[in-house]
Structure 1
Amino acid sequence: MAGSVKRAKPKGAAWPLFGERRISVPRAWSSLPAEQLHPFRQRLLSGSSLVLEDFRLCLADTLPRLPWEDAIVVADALLSGLRNSPANMPAVVATPCTAQDLISMANTNSTQKATHRLRRIAAFASPLSGSPGESWSRVVIDQLGFEPPELQHRVRTADGRLMGILDFWWKGLRLAGEFDGKRKYAGGSSYSGRDVDPVILDEKLRSERIQEEGIRFVRWMWDDLTSPRRLEAKLLRAGVPRR
């Protein structure tokens, strides 16, 4: 028939689960065991199943392809060992990776560009970031050229009692930076699962106690991250210096 096109099989792996005839993997992976390269089927309690691949190889292949802020969000979560959990389940703490683990993954990349990018990700990532918003904040603060803050700074009273933990801290300015995600105050879907009024009251009292110690606050939300000039204006007004 005129104009008919025969659909070609996609290039890829000779994996029985995917029905392909040949395998194509990065040259750097050629020394890995075959069972690590091939996907496997994981049975679930419901009776269904998922086709999975080796986690480290997935990360090595995927992280360098992500936009920079997304890559740092993932890398920070890997280093901290934190994972999100449904509101009706306890928080899950995974076995954290290390920066050296990420660097070792870079050695499995197929191109120098991907290897270099994964090493940059490993160098910038931090286990101290407490949420995706905090990770994204670090990226924007860095891209805007501001002095990097200390993360998760603990504020204590004169007698050593813990008053609070600050997302970001510029010591020379006695300035606290706080990322306020909407979920923090969103009732049943909030991080704590508590009603919104007690959450807001606790946050207000905490801020007042810390401010009594001569500490100022600068706060921002997601809109300030997606429009970085808004965050830049806030940090400039607060006196945060450039690098």
Structure 2
Amino acid sequence: MSSEPHPCRQKPLAAAIATASGQYGTVSWAQARECGLTRTDVKRLTRRGEWLNPHRGVYVVRALVPEARSLERLRCVALAAQFALGPRACAAGPTAARLWGMQGLERWDGREVHIVVPGRDPSRRPNGIVLRGWDVSPQETTVLGGLRVTTPGRTLCDVLPGLDRETAVCLMDSTLNQGLLGREDIPGLDERMRGRRGCVGVRRWWNLADGRAQSPLETRIRLICQDGGLPPDELQRRFTDRDGRTVAVVDFWWEGLRLIGEADGIGPHSTPRALARDRERQNALQALYPDVRIARFTWADLRRPGYVLALVAGEVRPARL
């Protein structure tokens, strides 16, 4: 027996798949029905494994499933959750932070998403959904890439109080760097968080935030140096050649120590091409500025802050590319 759908059903199926392709592979039963599919059609597709059924009345086209643990997969899972929970459902907390591109949280586990539904009992939840009982106003939500999410400010209010200092400052730096919030917004956020557990620490940590940081590694290295009494004098310092052309923009600069710091480091995922490019850039800097030292920091260095401080102070020799 042929596994192809009946010719009269091919057109509705194509329409449903086209709908799903614009929704990260996700389609609701109501949308499938509007495209002309019947319940029998949908049951046949799920039975054959061509469509997945993560929640009641919600389907994901297997051929359109995004790569595991990618941002597109997160969007797919979050949208499926919103279809399941209704039009008031909104991505919140860590899920909203990741959807906004805020850097610094642990990598998404590929399964659970955090959703808030005003008025819904958070103790009852569909599989794979962490329901939050937060009171979120309409003014604190928006639409991002077809998904309902809490605004950047509301997202930080929900996420920051539960984090350690380093992770919190990473999110603060990332939010400022991307222009999702400005310094002028911080007093308002502090006021909105007043009374929440952890809000006092968050208020202090804003003083450590710097929107020039371009990665969580930069933020964490900077905090180590600040804690050790060796804060960098400049971030994203521009170095030029004799004609004023930019040779490099470096992550950290210590004027008195004549030290350039780079927070990209040499890691297991560095490619030969990337290493060659970094080596060429470092050699050009060293040739133009022979009196400076160049130190490179990796994620592994975060486990030994004493080494980072010794490297900045010039007590150990930096690794060569």
With structure 1 as the length reference, what TM-score do the two structures score? 0.66
Shift of 1:228: 1.1
Contact 1:102 1:118 in 2 (8 A): no
Shift of 1:151: 0.3
Corresponding residue of 2:272 = 197
1:103 aligns with 2:183: no
Q: Counterparts of 1:217 and 1:128 in 2: how far apart (Å)?
A: 20
Shift of 1:120: 2.2
Contact 1:180 1:220 in 2 (8 A): yes
Instruction: Tell me the amino acid that sits aligned with residue 157 of structure 1.
Output: D
Q: Counterparts of 1:55 and 1:162 in 2: how far apart (Å)?
A: 34
Contact 1:155 1:164 in 2 (8 A): yes
Q: Counterparts of 1:228 and 1:129 in 2: how far apart (Å)?
A: 19
Q: Counterparts of 1:72 and 1:111 in 2: how far apart (Å)?
A: 20
Q: Counterparts of 1:127 and 1:170 in 2: how far apart (Å)?
A: 18
Corresponding residue of 2:293 = 216
Q: Counterparts of 1:163 and 1:55 in 2: how far apart (Å)?
A: 35
**What are the Cα deviations for residues 207-228 of structure 1, in whole angstroms up to 9, with x where unaligned?**
0111112221122211211221
Q: Counterparts of 2:276 and 2:186 in 1: how far apart (Å)?
A: 40
Partner residue of 2:138 out of 35, 52, 76 = 35
With structure 2 as the length reference, what TM-score do the two structures score? 0.51
Secondary structure of the corresponding residue to residue 107 of structure 1: helix
Partner residue of 2:153 out of 44, 47, 56 = 56
Shift of 1:113: 7.0
Q: Counterparts of 1:179 and 1:124 in 2: how far apart (Å)?
A: 18
1:232 aligns with 2:309: yes
Change (3 A) 1:65 1:201: same
Change (3 A) 1:17 1:171: same
Change (3 A) 1:142 1:113: farther
Corresponding residue of 1:92 = none
Change (3 A) 1:161 1:67: same
Aligned residues: 192
Instruction: Tell me the amino acid that sits aligned with residue 279 of structure 2.
Output: K
Q: Counterparts of 2:123 and 2:138 in 1: how far apart (Å)?
A: 17
List runs of 5+ in structure 1 lacking aligned partners: 1-11, 82-94, 188-195
Shift of 1:182: 5.1
- Show the 5 A alignment for 1:155-170: 155-170=239-254
Corresponding residue of 1:137 = 221
Shift of 1:236: 2.6
Shift of 1:16: 2.8
List runs of 5+ in structure 2 lacking aligned partners: 1-115, 125-131, 317-321
Q: Counterparts of 1:216 and 1:43 in 2: how far apart (Å)?
A: 44
Give me the identity figure in percent.
Answer: 26
Higher-Rg structure is 2
1:186 aligns with 2:263: no
